Amino acid sequence: MKKLILTLIIALTAPFAFAGDILIEGFEYGNQDLVCPVGWTSDDGAWLSGYLEKDHHRLPHSGNWYAFSNADDSWMYMQLYLISGLQYRFNVWAIADGSCQLEIWAGSSPATADMHTLLLSTTIDGDAYQKVSNYVETIPSNCNYIAIRALTNGNATCLTIDDIEVDMVEQYQFEAEPITGDSAMYPGTQGSFRYRVHNIGFDALDISMHPSNEFFTGFTCSANGTTGMTFHTEPDEVLEVTITATLRPEVEPGTVCWLDVNMTIPCNCNTAMVTFWVTPMELEQASENAAPEISVYPNPAADYVVVEAEDLLEVVLSDTKGRTLGSTAAKGPKTYINLSNLKSGVYLISAKTRSTSSFVKSILKM
C-alpha cells in the first residue's frame, strides 16, 4: 500500500529564501534601565531603555523592555545593511503622552546629515499602543544604517517604542503546507484533502483555488468556515482549506493518481501548488444489485460518523491498509461509529446491507 506523498512546489518571481527573514525584533535582550538600547546609539543620550511589567495595556506580543525619548528632536541609530532590490516591512509599536511624530530613516552612517531615505512617518497620539507598519518596495543604494527619529515639537512629550521589527517580505506572497495524512480510496468514492495557506505578504490577498480534474471530479472547497473557490486573506492570516473530491469511478485500482491544487492571486506574481498522491483500491461489491443509498456523515469528522441506509446489517471500520479496527451490528437505519480514540488520518467505512455485501467510503478523521 502506497503512503500518501505530499509535495509542495512554490514558484515566485522574487527569491523565496528571503521571505519573512526577521532582521530586527524588539528591545528584549540585554538592556539596562536608563541606558541606550543594546545595538543602538543615540546623540547625547536622547534615547534610553526602560522596563515595564506585563500588565500594562500594550499590543506587542513579547518582552517588557522599551525605548523612550522626550527630547524635542531625537535620533537613534543601528547598523543594518538594506539591500537594494529587496523588499522590506517595518512594524513599530509606539505610545506617546501627547502628539509626536515618529519616523524611520535609512542612510550611509549614524549621523543625521547622512540619513537620506525616509522609510516610515506617522503621528503617534493616544493613550494605548499603536502598531504602525510600512512596506518599502524600493530601497536605494548606500543604506548601511537605519535610524528612529522622534519629533515632539516642543510639547515636552515622551515617545515610547515597545517593539520594532524589520523583515524582508514580498508585497504579495503566501505559503501552502499539506496536512492530510495517508490516503487510499476506492474508485467512485469521495475523499477530503486538507492544507494550510498562510498570507506572509504585506498586502491583503484574494487567493483562488484551481483543483485538477484528471482523476477527480465533484469538487467542493471550504476555508475557515466559508465555501467557495476564492478566499480573502489579510496579512499574516492562515486559511485552513479542505478540498472534497470524488475519485473517478473508471480509475483502475493500482493506477498512480494525484490531485493538484493550484493557487493564484490576481497580480499573477505569486503561485503555489500542493499535490496529493492517492492509491486506488479494489472495490468489493456485489454485481447483481445496484449500489444502495448509503450516507456517511459528517466527513471530515471529529468524534463520530453516522452510517445511514435501509436494511443496514453491519458497519466495519478499517485503516487504509485493510486492518479491521472495529465492527458494529446495525440495530436500525442509523449506526454511530466512535472515532474519538483514533489518530487524525484517513479511514475506511464498509457498510453491509441486505442488498450488497460491501459498500466502502473513505473518511477523514480530524
Cα 270 from Cα 16, distance rounded (Å): 10
Kindly give, in sequence order, each residue whose CB lies less than 8 Å from that of residue 261, ignoring residues fewer than 6 positions away. Answer: 193, 195, 209, 210, 211, 212, 243, 273, 274, 275, 276
Q: What is the pLDDT of residue 229?
A: 93
* Residue 155 Cα to chain centre, angstroms: 43
Question: Domain 295-365 classified CATH 2.60.40.3080?
Answer: yes
Q: Convert the pLDDT of each residue in 96-140 to its tens digit.
A: 888 889 999 999 999 999 999 999 999 988 777 888 888 887 888
Rounded distance, CA 40 to CA 110, Å? 10
The label of the residue with cell 491498509 reads 321
Q: Are 185 and 278 in contact (CB under 8 A)?
A: yes
Q: How many Cβ atoms from other residues are within 10 Å of residue 310's Cβ?
A: 11
Provide the residue count of the chain: 366
Rg of the chain (C-alpha set): 29
pTM of the model: 0.49
Q: pLDDT tens digits for 299-313?
A: 888 888 998 888 888
Q: Return d(Cα 318, Cα 217) in angstroms, integer.
A: 25
Helix H or strand E segment including 23:
strand 21-25
Under-50 pLDDT residues of the chain: 1-20, 55-62, 285-290
| Domain range summary for the chain, segments of one domain joined by + | 6-15+172-280, 21-168, 295-365
From residue 302, how far is each of 88, 118, 305, 331, 339 by CA, in Å?
A: 41, 52, 8, 23, 7
Q: Identify the pLDDT of residue 22.
A: 63
First to last CA, the chain: 22
CATH 3.20.20.450 assigned to domain 6-15+172-280? The reply is no
Class of 21-168 in CATH: mainly beta
Instruction: Quote the pLDDT of residue 180.
Output: 67
In DSSP terms, 67 is beta-bridged to 49, 161
Residue 250 per-residue DSSP state: T
Query: What DSSP designation does 301 have?
Result: B
Neighbouring C-beta atoms of residue 113, cutoff 10 Å: 8
What does the alpha-carbon distance between residue 12 and residue 18 come to, in Å, rounded to a whole number?
A: 11
- At residue 115, the pLDDT reads 94
**What pLDDT score was predicted for residue 72?**
85
φ, ψ dihedrals at 67, nearest 5°: -115, 145
pLDDT at 157: 77
